[in-house]
Structure 1
Amino acid sequence: MPAFYTQTHPAGYTLSTDPGRLDVAAIHRWLSEESYWAKHIQRATVERAIANSLPFGLYAPDGRQAAFCRVVTDRATFAWLCDVFVLPEYRDQGLSKWLVQQMLAHPDLQGLRRHLLATFDAHTLYQKFGYTLLDRPDRWLEIKHPNPYPAPNEE
């Protein structure tokens, strides 16, 4: 059985990379109903994304899911931070900062050449941890697709 990365917050919260601890229903609910980037995402897609990423679950002292993020990485050269959220009832306690700090400290994410993320409204949070605007955005390309998660009445 692999050793999972765990850390304990001074207020009793626990961070773990053990995917078996994740409350996938709560994660799916928040991503599909509340996020701006994955609204209407299917649960099977969330499950596949978690299975193919390095997931970070943050749990309240009572064991309930409080926050989540995942990192898509080859653990050698590249990492992409995504799906970061803190559930509303756990906000305003500094947990988002602590979650990002602990994610960046993970042993498998040290010495990478590139660590990326995309955000609409949290630039200030991530800049505190060294993220900057792309130095050479002219080198980056993307393939744009229509929204893969249409609202149920749009299908």
Structure 2
Amino acid sequence: MPAIKDPNNDDLVLWESGAIVEYIVDTYDKQGKLTLTSNADKWHLKQYLHFQMSGQGPYFGQAIWFRKFHHEDVPSAKQRYEEQTVRVFDVLNTILKGKTYLVGEKFTYADLCFIPWDMAIKGFAPEIWEKNEVKSKYPDFVAWHDRLIARPSVKKVYGL
């Protein structure tokens, strides 16, 4: 379970990745490097953060779990979570049609939050990408993913 303890704020302890992201952005991104300023943009950023937490993270995590770590083969679970993973690709592809980033023309925390599970699904379950022809069927999603992982900070974290 992700958790932080902030020594700069009375040792505040937070758990739950979405709360941690919001806290870090609100507390430490004073220059707005990872956020946007308009009211609508702020809410759209939160919308995508919540979609990542309630959709991408759980579905991708379960897709990986039932393929790589579960003690028995459960074909129906593998199928369900693969279908949900593909649904997330489709939703993101639709959102990203003609766009560079999820909100506005700036890389934000909303984009950043999708990287870990995108990298995990490609690393632990590449067959989902291949079988479902993600590169050809979801080109806007793939272009966005490629832009995100081409960022120097992301390359550094993932050793790319």
- So what's the TM-score if we normalise by structure 2? 0.30
- Which protein is richer in helix relative to its size? 2
